[in-house]
Chains A and B, each alone.
Chain A
Amino acid sequence: MVPILEMRGITKSFPGVKALDNVTLSVSPGEIHALVGENGAGKSTLMKVLSGVYPYGSYDGDILFEGQPARFAGIHDSEARGIIIIHQELALVPLLSIAENIFLGNEITRRGVIDWHETYRRTEALLAKVGLDESPAARVDSLGVGKQQLVEIAKALSKKVKLLILDEPTAALQEYDSQKLLDLLLEFKAEGITSILISHKLNEVGRVADRLTVLRDGATVSGMGRDEISEARIIRDMVGRDMAHRFPARTPNPGETLLDVRDWCVFHPTHADRKVIDGASLTVRRGEVVGIAGLMGAGRTEFAMSLFGQSWGQRITGQVTLGGKPVDLSTVPAAIRAGLAYVTEDRKALGLVLDETILRNTSLANLPGVSTRGVIDANRERRVAEDYRTALGTRTPTVFQKVVNLSGGNQQKVVLAKWLFTDPQVLILDEPTRGIDVGAKYEIYAIVNQLAEQGRGVILISSEMPELLGMCDRIYVMNKGAFVGELTRAEASQERIMATIMAAETGVAGGA
């Protein structure tokens, strides 16, 4: 079969770096083609070349689309040919309606005046197609991330798409929404739409992809057909080495109880009568990694943030002891002093000052630790930052690099460095490996293990069940703001966790 898309010998250089080196990609009509690789492997650059963000002439090599040479001067040209890309960061205007967003820049008009009737009619048809049951007039900011993703896809469909490119579409989605999205891709395939799926989640790739191309360091490493796809092989090709275990081994050696939370109750910050956390109790022992599993909206992040200096919610009640003594966690500074650290799930928005250097981010939560009477000792600060860079293996030439230029994994190491420098007894890690590639995940896991071996307590919140199962000594299952089950490492399994959640949903006492 003639490929719908062929990219041959694509080479793209930026000052000082070769981002793509002789990359070849061939996509057959009607297939779902997965593109995988670590962060920085060149996936996004390749897609930018394809969609014309980097115009023809700024790269070497040829692109053939439907047998014709494609020389796009901008994203408009590629869209005109039916190549639509949906970026990881959604490009919707939150304050506009679904219909307005779908036809933004492409409005249905009669003599320059928008034809709202036709706009809504077509929007309804598109929404039906993607299975989104919302009014076309609903504002986008009233929708969850999963539904917004569907609006993006409806928008792509409105443009007569032939080749749909999805850049990490499920990164921010929960299991259920992800499944729905993947089902949608399969439906499109049945209708003859070709897709390129960029993803970190190898189980998803295995589920829907017909073929797969692995990129590493800006070069094509391998291609495999549907029956050759295996996670082990993909990982090996992605990282360039065999990774026998996805999770580093650790011998659990829990000590006495470190953190003890009793009857934690939290109300919603704006809806004062909504109880979001309802009598949650949890213990963490020294040297123990404790997981919290649950669906999105179960209240895991809310629990963590309310615990950490009451950063979320109001009318917070409950008792907390740390090392056997009651502690004051009423403000963030107090929580830090007490020995708590919280690594947020959204490291860009909440964890880092992106435009600042690694150095300044590292010392941010413990400036007194590098200063005398309010005056910062620049040399001491630099030594601290360098030490953590070495200890955590942050890959960067100097600590004066702005964190905005780092990969997700390295950014997360900077966040960890910041909190380690406060010398916490208990670290709460909220989705610590979200959006991070396989190799860097392993390194983060190794750091978590080290923390436990140092006798610290770790609370790990994750939506990826294999991660919880691979890392945790004990797993709490959360549902609707309460812990509905507690499983030991031996008891825990993906099925068991889901069963516990489902039992709680239906009101039957179940699980452990």
Chain B
Amino acid sequence: MAGKTGTIGAYLKNNMRQYGMLLALVAIMIFFQFMTDGTLMKPVNLTNLFLQNSYIVIMALGMLLVIVSGHIDLSVGSVVGFVGGLAAVMLVQWHWPVLVAVAASLAVGVLIGAAQGYWVAYWRIPSFIVTLAGMLVFRGATLWLLNGQSVGPFPKVFQLLSTGFVPDVLPDLAPLLGLARFNATAFLLGLAMAATILILASRGRARAAAHGMADEPFGFFVGKNGLIAVAIVYISFLLATYRGLPNVLITMAVLIVLYMFITNSTTIGRRIYAIGGNEKAAKLSGINTERLVFLSFANMGFLAALAGLIFAARLNTATPKAGVSFELDVIAAVFIGGASMSGGVGTIVGAVIGAFIMGVMNNGMSILGIGIDYQQVIKGLVLLMAVIFDVYNKSKST
């Protein structure tokens, strides 16, 4: 059987695409950690890093599905602005209850995504055109909705969406440990998550081994999952010594896990990959390609709306300029993460790593005081290099 294990080096070489970007992220983090004299990984900065990038990461999850299905959504930045503005109007001007306003905003996001998906899926209008139109329409609509002005501030409860933290369950622990502040919840949740990952991974491996399917070298398996667990525990420790886990980090983590599950293990995910890989073959295999494309756009609308709410909550005000050029960051994240322009290829993990590569670079360069002009140039070149690296790898493997 194929259960024979090779050397770690050979395995890594065969899976270069998968781990290359992760290694790049780690290298970039080490680089900035060094260049910023350790500011990058300071608890307060780390917390900021998550807060700043949460909406990009969240949208990258939906964008990955859209891009894998062979399409693109340029409208997400405008949808962020529009939904943020809509929420502001509902909360600040109409005084709607927070829960109702949030639910209504998300529903509007789904409707926007569905409307665009309808034209793409059932009328076969190129997604580039439909969402370019959407980008203009919803930017204009945002301006109209807000009368060209900023609207805020929001009720306290709404702000928790972005700036809230998970409360501490053991507030008395910090003095015992001799630390100024220590959020036990954050650390315990980190430990629990690391343990869950280890347990799930070993169970998966045991099951795979029972079927003769464990291809990963054992040393690599232990090393990889060990490192992931250590990284999670370490980050949760760092966060615990500041204000604990931001609410938005929890939202993000749950969504990442959910979308990983959808893409890796469900028939829906598998079918979306097949559509992007060869739509006609997918259709002749009995897959309802139109419906899945439609749904992936509706889903994108939902996540863009969620990102819009988080962004507005973070700024505590809705502005007509909110979300401008976000679509570019989101799309760049997905492509840096190894997705293919022609569809059918890409992973959630890759997209998340891509988003963090962009995020860490933004953050690190800002700390270093590099001007926005250079930042743009460098980010552009990183996107180009990542895709060249991908293409080069692919041409080598075939």
Contact = CB atoms under 8 A, between A and B. Distances in A.
A355 B344 contact: yes
Chain B, interface residues (CB within 8 Å), range: 20 to 34
B266 A376 contact: yes
A378 B265 contact: yes
Given A374-B268, A376-B267, A382 B213 contact: yes
Contact of A332 (B207, B286, B344, B345): B286
Interface stretch (A143-151, A162-170, A346-354): A346-354
A363 B285 CA distance: 10
Contacts of A418: 285
B285 A382 contact: no
Contacts of A367: 267, 270-271
A355 B345 contact: yes
Contacts of B282: 353, 364
B282 to A, nearest CB: 7
Contacts of B398: 404-405
B281 A333 contact: no
Contacts of A342: 284
A374 B281 contact: no
Chain A interface secondary structure, helix, strand, loop or mixed? helix
B211 A379 contact: yes
A226 interface: no
Interface string B260-284: 0000011110110110011011111
A356 interface: yes
A360 interface: yes
Contact of A349 (B265, B270, B273, B280): B280
A311 B277 contact: no
B281 A353 contact: yes
B395 to A, nearest CB: 13
A200 B127 CA distance: 42
A376 B265 contact: yes
A355 to B, nearest CB: 5
Residue picked from B210, B278, B283, most chain A C-beta under 10 Å: B278
A11 B277 CA distance: 36
B275 to A, nearest CB: 9
A366 to B, nearest CB: 8
Contacts of A383: 211
B13 to A, nearest CB: 12
A293 B167 CA distance: 75
A309 B2 CA distance: 38
Interface string B209-252: 01101000000000000000000000000000000000000000
A101 interface: no
A382 B213 CA distance: 8
Contacts of A306: none
Nearest to A349: B280
Interface in A304-348: 308-309, 311, 332-333, 335-336, 342, 344
A353 B277 contact: yes
Given A367-B270, A374-B267, A398 B285 contact: no
Interface in A371-411: 371, 374-376, 378-379, 382-383, 398, 400, 404-405
B211 A353 contact: no
A351 B271 CA distance: 15
B366 interface: no
B288 interface: yes
Residue picked from B2, B208, B285, B345, most chain A C-beta under 10 Å: B285
B274 A356 contact: yes
Contacts of A355: 277, 344-345
B280 A368 contact: no
Interface residues of A, number: 36
Contacts of A405: 398
Interface string A403-438: 011000000000000100000000000000000000
B281 A382 contact: no
A308 B284 CA distance: 9
Given A376-B265, A383-B211, A364 B345 contact: no
A360 B270 CA distance: 8
A371 B213 CA distance: 18
B284 A374 contact: no
B277 A354 contact: yes
Contact of A371 (B2, B207, B267): B267
A365 interface: yes
Contacts of B273: 353, 356, 360
B205 to A, nearest CB: 12
A405 B268 CA distance: 26
A56 B143 CA distance: 64
Nearest to B275: A353
Contacts of A336: 286
B283 A332 contact: yes
Contacts of B211: 379, 382-383
Interface in B281-322: 281-288
A379 B208 CA distance: 7
Contacts of A404: 398
B3 to A, nearest CB: 11
A379 B207 contact: yes
B274 A364 contact: yes
Given A356-B273, A382-B211, A382-B213, A375 B265 contact: yes
Residue picked from A335, A336, A352, A355, most chain B C-beta under 10 Å: A355
Contacts of A349: 278, 280-281
Contacts of A335: 286
A342 B281 CA distance: 11
Contacts of A379: 207-208, 210-211, 213
Contact of A364 (B208, B213, B280, B285): B285
A335 B286 CA distance: 8
Nearest to A311: B284
B398 to A, nearest CB: 7
B284 A351 contact: yes
B266 A360 contact: no
Nearest to B204: A378
B213 to A, nearest CB: 6
Contacts of A364: 270, 274, 281-282, 285, 287
Contacts of B266: 371, 374-376
A374 B261 CA distance: 11
Contacts of B345: 355
A368 B273 CA distance: 16
Given A365-B285, A398-B2, A350 B213 contact: no
A428 to B, nearest CB: 11
A356 B270 CA distance: 11
Nearest to A350: B280
Nearest to B210: A379
A352 B115 CA distance: 31
A376 B270 contact: yes
B134 to A, nearest CB: 29
Contacts of A378: 208, 213, 265
A298 to B, nearest CB: 21
A416 B280 CA distance: 17
A382 B268 CA distance: 18
A206 to B, nearest CB: 36
A205 B193 CA distance: 67
Given A353-B277, A379-B208, A344 B284 contact: yes
A418 B207 CA distance: 25
Interface in B307-345: 344-345
B211 to A, nearest CB: 4
Given A353-B282, A355-B344, A367-B270, 17 more contacts: A308-B284, A309-B286, A311-B283, A333-B286, A333-B288, A336-B286, A344-B284, A349-B280, A354-B278, A356-B273, A356-B274, A360-B270, A375-B267, A376-B265, A378-B208, A379-B210, A383-B211
22 contacts: A332-B283, A333-B286, A333-B288, A342-B284, A349-B280, A350-B278, A350-B284, A353-B273, A353-B277, A353-B278, A354-B278, A364-B270, A364-B285, A364-B287, A365-B285, A367-B270, A374-B268, A375-B265, A375-B266, A376-B266, A376-B267, A379-B207
Closest 5 CB pairs of A and B: A353-B277, A365-B285, A367-B267, A333-B286, A379-B211
